[in-house]
A and B are shown apart, each in its own frame.
Chain A
Amino acid sequence: MNEQSAYLSEKLDAILAGAGSLLPELVLALFFLLLVTLDLFKAKSIKKLLPWLALTGLFWVLVLQVLGGYTSGDEPFLNLLLSDGLARFGGILFSAAGIFTILMALQLKRLEKLKEGRGEFYALVLVLVLGLNLMAKSVNLLMVFLAIETVSIASYILTLTFKQEKRAVEAGLKYVLYGALSAGVMLYGMSFFYGLTGTLNYTSEGFALGLLQADALLVTVAATLILAGFFFKISAAPFHFWAPDVYQGAPMPVVALFSTGPKIAGILVILRFISNFTDAGSFADVQLLLGVAAIATLVIGNFTALWQRTPRRLLAYSSVSHAGFLLTALLAFGTAYTSGVLFYLSVLLFMNFGIFLLLQVAEEKYGVQTLEEFSGLGRLQPYFGVMAILYLLSLTGLPPLAGFMGKLLIFSNVWEAYTLSGNTMLLALLVAGILLTGVALFYYIKIPFYLFFKRNQSQENLVISPSEKLLLALFALPLLVFFFKPDLLLRWIEQLLAQTL
């Protein structure tokens, strides 16, 4: 009895001591509860307040994470959650993604008019961001699972925001099915790792030591299984099948969030996970495994995008191909690839929100559903057209936009890794990655092609609201700045990575 209470009080002390490091998550949880409670009231004035409340919460968290200094040491909280520089940078991106999502949602008139579930929408965005933060911080496989599931469940419901629409229901159902499957497979893989190493702390030395002693084949199988779950989150092949349907059916702000938040968090988890395999020569299997997946993702994403007729599906496959690039970046073992990856993730955040906001404007204002319906819009609305070119070129990876810098950093790291190791697979990745950029241009350029080269039939000359114009410029500005001065961001990333909070 006495022993147990001593254990309990010890635990309690640890929780209290470490709780400081979870300040951002606590704030998010608090605002979530606040939102859910306030949503119970029927008064219109309160309903109006909800998005702004959610924004306040997210902004607070963003500032917290930018300023840093909220933690107690570099010990992981209960051996579960580590608040290091990597997690902090991730957290900054997640809060930003949350803020962007809500700003985008405020432009979406259909959401404003929604009778049911409008309050929940904002609350769920908060939960999703919370889950993403936990994903980035997890150093324990079980915690990873819990965090991923938190994100997934929030995602399923967000997909169904407009549940009276048939497409949304289809998307939601597919999402749940694929999600459940990959979660099961991932859990299975985790149990393998526990059996092999006797620990779930996948960044600890014990884990790496256990892997060294384990049978290489078994480790490869387990890694394959666990990666299935991660690949689902970043929509890498062959776990990308949900992406086109969800991108087609979900509300646009949510799609933008899906294409950035979970992808960033998933990459961070993989980043932590594969650091177990970067040094040991005997685990080259995992590099090969990831390499094959990366090439497959790049090829499938880029070539399937070629045949798409709707902008949403096109961007879904483009998002798949970006997952391929990120996997490529992670394979440059032996180089300082982390900052390159984080740079690309930051750029991805801005370009994806930009292009999806653009698409939302096109859909809501001009009823654009297929690529053909973009015809002539660029001439009608030069501002819209120029912004479209900017984002699409950045997505393709052409200068003078940050997407090019991101790709340049990734490719240089891969080249460097190839120089160090002489692994031909890396060269194949490099060549595939660069040549597929040519393919990517072919489908991205379709949109400016319709925007400027085709005549519009009889569209009303509707005006884009100033707030939308402002947001579009806001997302575009970093793309230019990070091309001309990438060192600004890279230095900051280095600083964050160097310090544990």
Chain B
Amino acid sequence: MDFILSSLIFTPLLAALVVLLLPVHLQKPIKAVTLLGALVQMGLSILLYFRFDGSAFANGQQGYQFVEKLNWIGFSLGNLGRFQIDYFVGVDGVSISMVLLTGIVGVIGVISSWSITKNVKGYFLLYLLLLTSVMGCFLALDFFLFYLFFEFMLLPMYFLIGIWGGPKREYASIKFFIYTLVGSLFILLVMIGLYTSVIDPQATAVQMGLLEQGKAASAEVLTQVQQMLQRNQVSNYNLVRTFSIPAMMEPANFIPNSLLHVLSGTILWDLPLRFIAFLLLFAGFAIKVPSVPVHTWLPDAHVEAPTPISVLLAAILLKVGGYGLIRIVYPIFPDAGTYFSILVGGLGVLSIIYGAMNALAMKDLKKLIAYSSVSHMGFVLLGLASLTNEGLNGAIYMMFSHGIISAMLFLVVGVIYDRAHDRMIHNFRGLASEMPAYTSFVVIAFFASLGMPGFSGFISELLVLVGGFGAPEATGLLPRWLTIVAVFGLLLSAAYYLWALQRMFFGKFWIFPELREHAVITDLNTREYLMLVPLAVLALLFGIFPHLLLDKISLTVNGFTEMVLLRGQEQLGLIFSTLK
């Protein structure tokens, strides 16, 4: 076992400790330590990307690689057996892209934060904590560990927006906090239900004496335990309840008579309990995605957050929502996932269209980009709901590519805001003549985002749409008109980007008179080049060579869709059989 995943998670935490010990006035060293921490994390994530074997289901654990599993909390519940929380991390095709993204954007964010002057120590401390918890989220394979990181993400974000944000920062930060917390409470409810229902076959085998402590179980022993469990032959005392996500994915690990068992037949408000659990989890993650109608925190948070935090929020934090749906919600509840695919896909398309129309109406450039995020995240939901290989590959690709492109977009907004202290579209005209280099990066970012071929955004939208169109034949889950409607989203995004471009950058140079005395309109400086150039290169690189990422993720995706579809149909049949 090597500890690359733990190093990825805890490097920023280590840097945070160093920052904590540095005196407040040493601002340069504090920044340097943060940068070092982020750089090491990026280095490790790139190393992991190269070492990750996209063509093999290595190491046994259902295709997870670099797995680390340690007992963390174990406790006897008397007559109800034991409960077990593991420090359990691993990486597969879904997480490898997110890890890489987090590593890259983490460094960009530090460079972008270089101009922070207010309470530097506190800022970078929180920044590093945020990096740790996001990375932990993407690597955790134990639901408890995931939830820990997921919840802990809120806190640094709350303070980063609330202290270093814009004029309405207090409102925005509280709204962000409450929204996400309510979502995570839904998740908590289901998490409790799941872990009281699911056993760890390996640990149960040890408890039953079928296996020696510390030895890996053979498949036969595990199957034997699962069969005994389903026949009620395991005494309560020997059950080891677990938070492990892979264990929750196996229907054979559910304790008979537990409420979330496929055959439990529990009905609540005319729906099987498993469906309700799915809906709660979906709601929890949909807030994070964010999907219409629970997206309203996002524009506020984005507009008020300082530029680097907007970058992190859009590029990484939003991805936790989509990632959670793929990692947790669909594999654990494939039945409800297929049953509600029209809901998920429908909300996705609604987000695409509604987000784009909002973006069209925005006067604030940053709000426009925030709504374009809502619109693009809709593609993730659509791709996921189609449950086709193309759709899901596209959804993951969209998360990665949107991470790169939205980071660029928010940086670009930050540039003009730094110079003019304003970002209203109608206050500027003809910026191209004064800031040619800046304008070319704006054009790159806008075109990449609207799905211009050659950029990564194109690949992801194409894959999602192909998946969506293929869904009626391949999986029979989504009606074709839904995807047709989604295509109009592309048109709208072209409209709002090009219109903004035309209004702000073309024509004769002019800025709003009241801004003139404070505004210093200069072109990009070195630090800004340092951030924008790599991002533009990455957007192009992954647009021209999509296999760089698809090679790593497609095998996992194939396994995923196959499993979800197969189990989904099977379990739906079982659930409905109990209802008759």
Contact = CB atoms under 8 A, between A and B. Distances in A.
A487 B86 CA distance: 13
A480 interface: no
A125 to B, nearest CB: 34
Interface in A456-501: 484-487, 490-491, 494
A494 B147 contact: no
B145 to A, nearest CB: 10
Given A399-B148, A486-B75, A453 B192 contact: no
Interface string A418-453: 110000000100110011011001100100010011
Interface stretch (A19-27, A175-183, A207-215, A408-416): A408-416
B75 A434 contact: no
Interface string B152-192: 10110011001100000110011001100110010011001
Contact of B151 (A399, A411, A442, A484): A399
Contacts, number: 86
Nearest to A335: B80
B129 to A, nearest CB: 11
Contacts of A382: 122
Contact of B169 (A389, A441, A453): A453
For A393, A398, A486, A491, the residue with the greatest tally of chain B CB atoms inside 10 Å of its CB is: A398
A379 B119 contact: yes
A490 B75 contact: yes
B196 interface: yes
Contact of A445 (B119, B169, B174): B174
Interface in B78-95: 78-80, 83
For A400, A415, A452, the residue with the greatest tally of chain B CB atoms inside 10 Å of its CB is: A415
B16 to A, nearest CB: 13
B12 to A, nearest CB: 16
Nearest to B189: A434
B80 A336 contact: yes
B55 interface: no
Contact of B195 (A339, A412, A449, A490): A412
B151 A449 contact: no
B181 A441 contact: yes
A453 B159 CA distance: 8
A153 B193 CA distance: 44
B229 interface: no
Nearest to B241: A412
Contacts of A453: 162-163, 169-170, 173
Contacts of B358: none
A176 B492 CA distance: 70
Contacts of B163: 452-453
B40 to A, nearest CB: 23
B77 interface: yes
B74 interface: yes
Given A336-B80, A399-B147, A445-B177, A419 B258 contact: yes
B105 to A, nearest CB: 24
A498 to B, nearest CB: 10
B506 to A, nearest CB: 40
Contact of B189 (A336, A400, A430): A430
Contacts of A400: 148, 152
B117 to A, nearest CB: 15
A442 B173 CA distance: 12
Contacts of A398: 151, 154-155, 181
B259 interface: yes
Interface in A382-418: 382, 389, 393, 398-400, 408, 411-412, 415-416, 418
Given A419-B196, A453-B169, A431 B80 contact: no
A127 B547 CA distance: 76
A412 B162 CA distance: 34
Contact of B75 (A379, A437, A452, A491): A491
A389 B188 CA distance: 21
A399 B196 CA distance: 19
B578 interface: no
B70 interface: no
Given A399-B151, A416-B80, A485 B73 contact: yes
A487 B158 CA distance: 31
Interface in A333-389: 335-336, 339, 379, 382, 389
Interface residues of A, number: 37
Contacts of B257: 419
Nearest to B178: A442
A442 B74 CA distance: 33
Contacts of A494: 76, 78
A398 B80 CA distance: 26
Contacts of B78: 336, 339, 494
Contact of A415 (B178, B181, B185, B192): B192
Contacts of A491: 75
B196 A412 contact: yes
Given A336-B78, A452-B163, A453-B163, A431 B189 contact: yes
A331 B159 CA distance: 38
Interface in B423-471: none
Interface string B45-79: 00000000000000000000000000001111111
A487 B85 CA distance: 11
Given A379-B119, A416-B80, A452-B159, A408 B192 contact: yes
A86 to B, nearest CB: 15
B578 to A, nearest CB: 15
Nearest to B194: A415
Contact of B74 (A435, A445, A487): A487
A438 B75 contact: no
Contacts of A412: 83, 192, 195-196
Interface in B230-271: 257-259, 268
B258 A411 contact: no
A415 B169 contact: no
Contacts of A434: 185, 188-189
A490 B80 CA distance: 15
A442 B169 CA distance: 16
A416 B194 CA distance: 11
A435 B195 contact: no
A449 B83 CA distance: 37
A416 B257 CA distance: 11
Contacts of B79: 336
A389 B193 CA distance: 29
A430 B151 CA distance: 20
A382 B163 CA distance: 14
A408 B187 CA distance: 12
B170 A449 contact: yes
A438 B185 contact: yes
A397 to B, nearest CB: 9
Nearest to B182: A438
Interface in B178-218: 178, 181-182, 185, 188-189, 192-193, 195-197
Contacts of B75: 486-487, 490-491
For B74, B193, B268, the residue with the greatest tally of chain A CB atoms inside 10 Å of its CB is: B193
B152 A415 contact: no
Contacts of A339: 78
Nearest to B83: A412
Contacts of A449: 162, 170, 174
B178 A441 contact: yes
A325 to B, nearest CB: 14
15 contacts: A379-B119, A398-B151, A399-B148, A399-B151, A411-B189, A415-B193, A435-B182, A437-B185, A438-B181, A441-B181, A442-B178, A445-B158, A449-B170, A452-B163, A453-B162
7 tightest A-B contacts by CB? A336-B78, A487-B75, A399-B148, A438-B182, A453-B162, A399-B151, A411-B192
Given A336-B77, A437-B185, A486-B75, 7 more contacts: A379-B119, A398-B181, A399-B147, A411-B192, A430-B189, A452-B159, A484-B73
Interface of A: 335-336, 339, 379, 382, 389, 393, 398-400, 408, 411-412, 415-416, 418-419, 427, 430-431, 434-435, 437-438, 441-442, 445, 449, 452-453, 484-487, 490-491, 494
